[in-house]
Amino acid sequence: MTLAAATNANLAEISNYLIYSSMAVYTLAFFAHIAEWTLGSRSKVARTAAALTAPDRQSPADAPKIQVQGGGTAVLEKPKVVTRSASGSRDVPDGPGAHGGTESGDLYGRIAVSLTALAFLIEAAGVTSRALSVQRAPWGNMYEFSTTFSTVVVGVYLALLLAKKNVRWAGLPLVTTVLLDLGIAVTWLYTESDQLVPALDSYWLWIHVSTAIFCGAVFYLGAVGTVLYLFRDSYEAKLARGGKPGRFATSVLERLPAAASLDKFSYRVNAAVFPLWTFTIIAGAIWAGDAWGRYWGWDAKEVWSFITWVAYAAYLHARATAGWKGRKAAYLALIAFACWLFNYYGVNMFVNSLHSYAGVE
């Protein structure tokens, strides 16, 4: 018994070291990203302005971008598919990425991604050893919730990269916020490893909490995309009006994907995870039914889950409503994510709730 306790204490300590180490590596990744952005900016690519002001842009169908799909260029006889963006949206190519098409920038970018992957592995090991030390899933308090959360965010990002999705633009914002999240976790939220009170000891809880963390991580990615969309969209709008954005804005925004691509990315990410979020709330209700004898009691945490859910539903509706697409829908998406954040930090800390198991006083 005491031996087991000692190993557990040991594991908890190892977990702490791993979390601190991952923070160190994330910091390195952060600097590599900065290097990528600074070195990459030397290249001059004004593709957006060119695409928006080119004389033939009134009739993009006449000069279509040619995308070769399926067959590939090698086989000449196979038909080529021409795509054309829906009318009403700007026909703008995606930016080249943070490296701006430069080799040194790209090198630093690759280093940044590799460091992020390394930090992710270390952090994941930290979370796992914490789980082993408490002999349960590591989501019993806000410290554990935060470390798991950032691990999952980075994991999803790396998985998207592995799937060859164009998401490298998210690297710098992600690493920055992950560092922030971990900093808050180790300074203010830290809780000694321990077991759970009986009310939290249910497998429904584990289903509920794990899916909640996952949804939050994906919603967060969506929110990052949305914010960048808003910047890039006003940049493109300004160019289209013939305006001249500042040098810094040009340098940064020029390298991001087109507003339409960012918008699509956020929509897909939010829409894909919305059913899971619905499931999360239902799983929570089932657990509440078992633990407290009522499925839904308008407890603060339940209220805010509901608000978040309705806000995302409103966002999805907005996308299908004429006059609400684009920026207005994007604001709704950000409001919805703010609700999620408040549910996570705000309710645990400021509102008296049955769910206040934060472990912080």
Structure tokens at 351: 């509102």
Cα–Cα distance measured from residue 160 to residue 50, given in angstroms and rounded to the nearest whole number: 30
The 10 Å CB-count burial string (b at 16+, else e) for 212-223 is bbbbbbbbbbbb
- Could you tell me how many residues of this chain bind other proteins (CB under 8 A)? 73
- What angle is formed at CA 19 by the lines to CA 15 and CA 20, rounded to 5 degrees? 120
Footprint (CB under 8 A) of other proteins, residues 273-312: 274-275, 278-279, 282, 285-287, 289-300, 303-304, 306-308, 310-311
Helix (H) or strand (E) holding 67: strand 66-67
Specify the residue, 76 or 320, whose C-beta has the smaller distance to ligand HEM: 320
Residue ranges in contact with ligand HEM by CB under 6 A: 313, 316-317, 320
Query: What minimum distance in Å lies between the beta carbon of 282 and ligand HEM?
Result: 13
What is the contact mask toward other proteins in residues 217 to 256, using x (rule: CB under 8 A)?
----------------------------------------
Cβ nearer to ligand HEM, comparing 235 with 265: 265
Nearest approach in angstroms of CB 172 to other proteins is 25
- Binding-site partner at residue 188 among other proteins, ligand HEM, none, CB < 5 to 8 Å by type: none
Beta carbon of residue 152, minimum distance to other proteins (angstroms, whole number): 21
Q: What are phi and psi of 66, to 5 degrees?
A: -105, 120
**Measured from the CB of residue 244, what is the shortest distance to other proteins in angstroms?**
28
Site residues for other proteins, 73-112, by CB under 8 A, read: 77-88
Shortest gap between Cβ of 167 and other proteins (angstroms)? 14
